[in-house]
């Protein structure tokens, strides 16, 4: 298992149930990527970071709590912006190194004011925007 100590300063398991904490594979700084997805449409909203305490708070409060790597503090989505994420479900991926949080997003998910953090910089279109969505051309 990856180290659970690091930047957050919280104990490795925080208030998280030991049976959940034992399954998690964290980064060297004790964090897991947490993908927020709109529960009813499947729209991917944002990616944040959680340590054990943030995950515990998310599971017990019904509101997404993240760890800010830049500010080195916990933050609850919506506390300052009013753009809340109400938790509908939480799941681990098959490797137990990423969390998927299905939420009901109120307002913008992105700090820029966009609905999602993935609206502004599309590298390859889905075909609906004029971009070629087929496989790359072969050099043969």
CA distances in angstroms from 60 to 16, 53, 83, 84, 92, listed in the order given: 9, 10, 19, 16, 16
Total-model pTM: 0.79
Give residue-wise pLDDT tens across range 3-25: 333 444 444 556 899 999 999 99
Give residue-wise pLDDT tens across range 68-106: 999 999 999 999 999 999 999 999 999 999 999 999 999
CB 32 within 8 Å of CB 97: yes
Tokens (6 digits) for 103: 């939420």
């Amino acid at each position: 298992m990856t180290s659970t100590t690091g930047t957050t300063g919280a104990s490795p398991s925080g208030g998280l149930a030991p049976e959940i904490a034992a399954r998690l594979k964290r980064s060297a700084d004790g964090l897991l990527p947490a993908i927020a997805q709109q529960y009813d449409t499947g729209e991917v909203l944002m990616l944040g970071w959680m340590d054990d305490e943030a995950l515990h708070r998310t599971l017990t409060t019904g509101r997404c709590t993240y760890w800010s790597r830049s500010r080195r503090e916990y933050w609850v989505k919506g506390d300052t912006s009013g753009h809340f994420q109400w938790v509908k479900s939480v799941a681990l991926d098959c490797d137990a190194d990423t969390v998927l949080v299905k939420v009901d997003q109120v307002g913008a998910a992105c700090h820029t004011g966009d609905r999602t953090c993935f609206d502004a910089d599309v590298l390859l279109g889905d075909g609906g925007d004029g971009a070629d969505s087929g496989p790359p051309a072969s050099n043969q």
